[in-house]
Amino acid sequence: MVEEVIGRHFKNAKAKQKKIILEHIRAVMECVKPSFLFDMVAASTKKLQEFLLELNQEIDQKLVLLCVDSVHPFFGQRQAMLCALELDHSLGTSTFLVDVSGDLEYPVLIKDSQRKPKMLSMLKAVIQKLSTDQSCHMEIQLEPEWPGCALFGILLGFLVVYYHEANQENCLAMVQLKVFNLKKNEIAVSSFSVPNALLQSNQDMICALERWKKENTSDSTLISEELVMLPNVIM
């Protein structure tokens, strides 16, 4: 049982933390998201590798561990992660890329990822790593100029992914955002936002969000929405 594997490897974790780990694993296995960031409890890479090895003996859909910059461990399904990273096939339909770079007055929808060469270089490197390294544990170091926040959003399966130039602030301060939260068995497994004005002016995005909500509606899930406006948005 997955619950028992979690219990053996994270004995000192609180019951709530163990439940959060379980629901994120279930979310990945049920294709709610391609991967999740393991930040529920402190654990070394070696500990996570040992956990993954035993976990994969208990589940049909084997997971991999992708460590970004050695400190951000993502557990996910390899093929699902690869599909998410192929933006050319999903941009404008199941993934929307929004430029929130600090030199902009307001967030702008990116309709062609080819205009962002740094991002393309980053995605190509991650795709190559996942495609050629057949081990269950992989490491990748991001270049200083790569937009890491966009990579995180893609790996987490966000419908709307924020992009901004490296070493820049963002332009989301005091911008009205619509936040979408997905809970599974009362545990939050996904949360992303979109500038509300941008959403209201884009019918494709509205339709995609309706599809996302429909695909993720079940007896065990709850989707909520709220409008927020923050003086500072940390990414």
- pTM of this structure: 0.95
Q: What is the pLDDT of residue 37?
A: 98
Give the C-alpha separation, 24 to 29, whole Å: 9
Q: What is the pLDDT of residue 112?
A: 81
Q: What is the pLDDT of residue 67?
A: 98
Per-residue model confidence as pLDDT tens digits over 170-191: 999 999 999 999 999 999 999 9
Q: What is the pLDDT of residue 167?
A: 79
Q: What is the pLDDT of residue 114?
A: 73
Token reading at 97 = 């890329």
Extract the residue ranges of the chain whose pLDDT is less than 70: none
Q: What is the pLDDT of residue 36?
A: 98
Q: What is the pLDDT of residue 184?
A: 95
Cα dihedral: 200, 215, 152, 28 (round 10): 170
